[in-house]
Amino acid sequence: MYRTGSEARPPVTDDKLLKDFEAVRQWAIDLPSGPNFPESSGVNFFIWATIGLFVFGRTEHLAEALERLNRYPETSRSHPCRNFIQAIPHLLPLSDVLWSSDRAGVATWYRDNKDRLKWDEEAGRYDLVTS
């Protein structure tokens, strides 16, 4: 079971897809960096895989992906994760202003609110649950 906010949610049945996302995320973490291979190269794949996991209820790595996105903003223009990054404001109850003007604030917002998020199957996104 994966936790989304205060509610446990059954994992996606397509284990291969989840294993593939997790393998890519781990591969990106393990990539060496150096003068010919900057650390930001692996960040593209890390963010891509982490958002893929997030879509299926694996929320535990999103804060780190948002922080890496802030550290390497060029990833928002790269092919491996460009479309996935654009999905974030559609999956989270973020204001348009926060998403467009304060990407660092999104990471802070997520850390402060992740335990209050609950998946809304009808809406196809996470909503904030009041205590």
What is the tally of structural domains in the chain?
1
Q: Which residues pair with 34 in a beta bridge?
A: 37
Structure confidence by residue, pLDDT tens digits, 60-110: 889 888 888 888 887 777 776 777 888 888 899 987 767 777 778 888 899
Percent of the chain clearing pLDDT 90 (strictly above): 11
Q: What residues make up the domain containing 64?
A: 2-128
pLDDT value at position 4?
A: 53
Burial class (CB in 10 A: 0-12, 13-18, 19+), 116: middle
